[in-house]
Amino acid sequence: MSTHATHPRRGGLPRPGRRFHDDVSGQPSGGYYHPGSYQKMRRSLRPAKPTVVSVLGELLVTAGVFLLLFVVWELYWTNLDANRQADAHQQQVIDDFQRNYDGMFTGDGPDPAVPAEVGDGAEAWGILYVPRLGSDWSSPVLDGVSPEVIDQGVLGRYPDSPRPGEEGNLAMAAHRQTHGSILWDMDQVVEGDRMYLQTANGWWVYEVKQNHIVLPTAIEVLDPNPLDPGGPASGQWLTITTCHPLYTTRERMVTHAEKVEFVPLADGPPEEIAEVAAESMPAGATTIDPDLEETMHELAPVTMENLYEKYHATQTQRETETAEAAAR
């Protein structure tokens, strides 16, 4: 008997009723092919028709993925981007401060008696230091409180606020979470803490008088005298506003501080922020030889134009005397 008739047809199925043959031995496998079983097999392999529940489930999974990506972007990526922009602003204002510091010895520097200049939102004009937020904490200050400004991870000055050195309430705002999260620990600030605002003139020192929670409608916190809303300006104040609690905008955390001191740029940064503020000074500007302290006090009455020259002349003379003494 010819084996041709017992093999499956090429490219198709075996004739109905024919035995299947084992692919390896060529012997009958013992089974028969039935057309009905093939149709059932094909139906079982067809994809199930989508149902409302399955479609809804896929949509929910997709929405969940997009929501997760948004959270990562909002809480992580915006911080990275804001930190990069804030660093650029800080370097820009540090460069400005260093030029002003050099100008003080040529008569071209700012007059400490004149209120500090502020910017237009494009460039930083100051740096705020709050030791309570960290020994190395600082933030550049720009003009404006729009998202375009404070989303850069910086402090923004309310446009109608006075300048540093003027009577009234210098008010600022910044993000507490996202976009740098620079005021994340603002709830740790307590009465008596100090904040230092560096400008081209020097350091304006403020002491915290109140840190409290208000509703977003409580605009009286921006009044000229924040501790006496509606009253006339009395003293120089610094107010910082941010969102509260974390991850909401339901309320505002507001910190009021009063100016207690001004430190001229030529005197160097206040002791509490000396280390973190040193980078805003020219190299060597804050490392005066302690042995020259008495001489520097004697030179205090001389004009600023001659101070730099006299200081270095005195230092050179001391170095010469030291070298001669060592050679003896």
Residues designated catalytic = 243
Do 257 and 251 contact (CB within 8 A), yes or no? Answer: no
Beta-carbon neighbour count of residue 201 at 10 Å?
25
Residues 6 or more apart whose Cβ sits within 8 Å of residue 259 = 204, 205, 206, 235, 236, 237, 238
Distance of alpha carbon 166 from alpha carbon 114, whole angstroms:
9
* CB-CB contact of 152 with 86 (8 Å): yes
Q: Report CA-CA distances (Å) from 315 to 58, 103, 278, 308.
A: 77, 21, 21, 11
Distance, in Å, from the CA atom of 52 to the CA atom of 32, rounded to the nearest integer, reads 41
Q: Report the C-alpha gap between 169 and 232 in whole angstroms.
A: 11
Contact 223, 169 (CB under 8 A): yes
Q: What is the CA radius of gyration of the chain?
A: 37
Q: Where are the beta strands (DSSP E) in 101-193?
A: 126-129, 138-143, 155-157, 168-173
Cβ neighbors of 150 (< 8 A, separation 6 or more) are: 156, 173, 174, 175, 179
Distance CA 141, CA 35 (A): 82
Number of Cβ within a 10 Å radius of residue 130:
26
Whether the CB-CB separation of 198 and 97 falls below 8 Å is answered with yes
Q: For residues 119 and 310, what is the distance between their CA atoms, to the nearest angstrom? A: 35
Q: How many residues are given for the chain?
A: 328
